[in-house]
């Protein structure tokens, strides 16, 4: 028995007739599953996917339409004084204390480039504590909840929405259950799936994974809005009274969960432009070098957007401003702030917040056989950050023989610090409050500062 003639004709018109070439070898259940997996608009999806994968047109056309971000839309640690940073932090902590802030994790990808078959968030980069990315992030959420609660004398919570895929939902749920949700209230950890779409070849053909099964893949970060609607996540946010959402990718080991400074900056900027309820803010870092393969936040034809590095000519990428810096220096790190109203209305108010790469951006993408964005570079970034925090707090480090280890304040992004000191996120969110337990004290490297040790040292 052949497939319904109407289905065969539709697939043929869409250029996808090859999906039925093994029909005669399939059993009834396999045939039914194959037909059920055919999404509406398959031909258009394949056409668009193939078009987006092709080399873009003349780069000069896009180059000529680009403008750098105006200075008034760009804030950040280096561009603002201590008073502004403290004001933004207070505003962010206030919003958190009012239960108006949530974090949304994009965690649909598997760790294939890392050489593992499980979700990236379950990866252990080799820290002395053995903590995974998920545990580090969960503990940062707990800590910033504590900081907001202490500042404003209340109990508060930051819901953690985790967008998985068909491949990562099951393992992620099991991992969190096995680890007791890392002591978070499980009702505040909400997992949901992003939509899956047929995988497509460069010439626009849907791929058969098996004779009766179409290969499916997550529809990318661009599918976030559809997933929020399809899974009623926006409804859940509104029921909880959430107004602000920090969106980030799982692989940045330095990400500051619900960063109060970033949130306070965005909320303040939204109020300044008279559209607090519908603002979008992106975090950016200064590009390490002109052709670094990160998207650039800029304005194209008057619209603010991220232009991928492949869409910019080398000449434009290397343009310098009068002060010697890059004209297009604002690299996108997939760390975003949305208001819930923005997600519903898709408004146009936009600001950007620049952060220091060494403090807030070190992605984990490749196995250690690569030359960057590896478990080793992620581990080095985190330990270098903690070493800087410890020195600033007045700590001294000793080697195995009890000899003082010379301090080194300037560290590159690809070297181990002179001393190994890992500081639990439950002790310090971003280097604050360490003097009480570290000032003028000697520590033998390697050293892990967890809550128990911090309390003991603080009382000594």
For residue 220, what pLDDT is reported? 59
Distance CA 227, CA 404 (A): 54
For residue 208, what pLDDT is reported? 87
pLDDT tens for each residue of 264-297: 998 988 755 444 445 577 788 888 888 787 788 8
404, pLDDT greater than 90: yes
Residues in the chain: 460
pLDDT tens for each residue of 167-216: 889 999 999 999 999 999 999 999 998 877 788 887 888 888 888 888 87
If you ran DSSP here, which 8-state letter would residue 313 be given?
-
Phi, psi (degrees; rounded to nearest 5) at 300 = -125, 120
How many angstroms separate the first and last alpha carbons of the chain? 82
* Averaged pLDDT, 53-65: 59
Pairing mode, strands 442-444 and 208-210: unpaired
Q: How far is CA 337 from CA 104, 107, 354, 376, in A?
A: 10, 17, 13, 29
Q: How far is CA 286 from CA 65, 76, 211, in A?
A: 21, 11, 48
CA 119 vs. chain centroid, Å, equals 14
Please state whether the predicted TM-score (pTM) of the whole model is above 0.85.
no
97 forms beta bridges with: none
For residue 53, what pLDDT is reported? 59
Whether domain 393-459 has CATH 3.90.550.10: no
Environment class of 57 (CB within 10 Å of its CB; exposed 0-12, middle 13-18, buried 19+): exposed
Burial 252-269 (b: 16+ CB within 10 A, else e): bbbbbbbbbbbbbbbbbb
Lowest-pLDDT choice from 132-136, 138-142, 294-298, 387-391: 294-298
CA 94 vs. chain centroid, Å, equals 23
For residue 62, what pLDDT is reported? 66
Residue 221 pLDDT class (50, 70, 90 cuts): low
Averaged pLDDT of the chain = 86
Residues of the chain with CATH 3.90.550.10: 67-360
For residue 52, what pLDDT is reported? 64
Residues of the chain with CATH 2.10.10.100: 393-459
Contacts of 238 (CB under 8 A, 6+ apart): 340
Cβ neighbours of 320 (radius 10 Å): 11
pLDDT tens for each residue of 21-47: 888 898 888 888 888 888 888 888 788
For residue 346, what pLDDT is reported? 55
pLDDT tens for each residue of 63-109: 778 888 887 777 776 778 899 999 999 999 999 999 999 999 988 77
Burial 285-301 (b: 16+ CB within 10 A, else e): bbbeebebebbbbbbee
Please give the sequence-ordered ranges of beta strands (E in DSSP) within 92-188, or none if there are none: 101-106, 160-164
pLDDT tens for each residue of 376-394: 999 999 999 999 999 999 9
Q: What share of the chain is helix, strand, coil (3-state, %, to 5)?
A: 40, 20, 40
CATH number of 67-360: 3.90.550.10
The more confident residue out of 110 and 129 is: 129
- Whether residue 206 contacts residue 42, with contact meaning beta carbons closer than 8 Å, is answered with yes
For residue 2, what pLDDT is reported? 57
397, pLDDT greater than 80: yes
Phi, psi (degrees; rounded to nearest 5) at 224 = -55, -50
């Amino acid at each position: 028995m052949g497939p319904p003639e109407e289905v065969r004709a539709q697939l043929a018109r869409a250029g996808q007739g090859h999906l039925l070439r093994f029909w005669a070898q399939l059993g009834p259940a396999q045939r039914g599953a194959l037909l059920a997996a055919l999404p509406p608009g398959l031909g258009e999806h394949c056409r668009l996917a193939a078009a987006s994968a092709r080399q873009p047109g003349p780069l000069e056309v896009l180059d000529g339409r680009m403008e750098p971000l105006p200075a008034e839309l760009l804030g950040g640690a280096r561009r603002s004084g201590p008073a502004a940073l403290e004001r933004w932090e207070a505003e962010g902590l206030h919003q958190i204390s009012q239960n108006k802030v949530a974090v949304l994790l994009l965690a649909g990808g598997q760790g294939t480039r890392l050489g593992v078959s499980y979700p990236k968030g379950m990866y252990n980069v080799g820290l002395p504590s053995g903590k995974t990315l998920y545990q580090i992030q969960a503990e940062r959420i707990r800590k910033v909840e504590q900081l907001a609660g202490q500042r404003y004398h209340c109990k508060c919570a930051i819901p953690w929405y985790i967008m998985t895929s068909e491949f990562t939902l099951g393992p992620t749920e099991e991992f969190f259950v096995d680890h007791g949700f890392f002591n978070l209230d499980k009702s505040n950890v909400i997992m949901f799936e992003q939509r899956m779409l047929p995988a497509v070849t460069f010439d626009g053909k849907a791929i058969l994974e098996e004779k009766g099964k179409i290969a499916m893949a997550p529809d990318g970060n661009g599918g976030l809005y559809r997933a929020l609607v399809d899974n009623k996540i926006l409804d859940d946010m509104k029921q909880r009274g959430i107004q602000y959402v920090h969106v980030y990718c799982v692989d940045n080991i330095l990400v500051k969960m619900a960063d109060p400074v970033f949130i306070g900056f965005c909320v303040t900027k939204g109020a300044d432009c008279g559209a607090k309820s519908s603002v979008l803010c992106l975090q950016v870092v200064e590009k390490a070098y002109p052709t670094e393969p990160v998207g650039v936040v800029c304005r194209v034809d008057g619209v603010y957007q991220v232009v991928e590095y492949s869409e910019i000519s080398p000449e434009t990428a290397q343009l310098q401003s009068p002060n010697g810096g890059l004209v297009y220096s604002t690299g996108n790190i997939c760390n975003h702030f949305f208001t819930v109203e923005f997600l519903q209305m898709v408004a146009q108010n936009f600001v950007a917040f620049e952060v220091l790469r060494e403090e807030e951006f070190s992605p984990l993408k490749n196995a250690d056989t690569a030359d960057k964005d590896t478990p080793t570079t992620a581990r080095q970034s985190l330990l270098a950050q903690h070493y800087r925090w410890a020195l600033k707090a007045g700590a001294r480090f000793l080697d195995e023989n009890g000899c003082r280890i010379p301090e080194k304040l300037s560290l590159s992004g690809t070297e181990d610090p002179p001393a190994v000191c890992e500081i639990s996120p439950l002790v310090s969110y971003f280097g604050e409050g360490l003097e009480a337990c570290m000032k003028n004290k000697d520590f033998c490297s390697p050293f892990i500062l967890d809550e128990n040790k911090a309390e003991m040292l603080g009382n000594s």
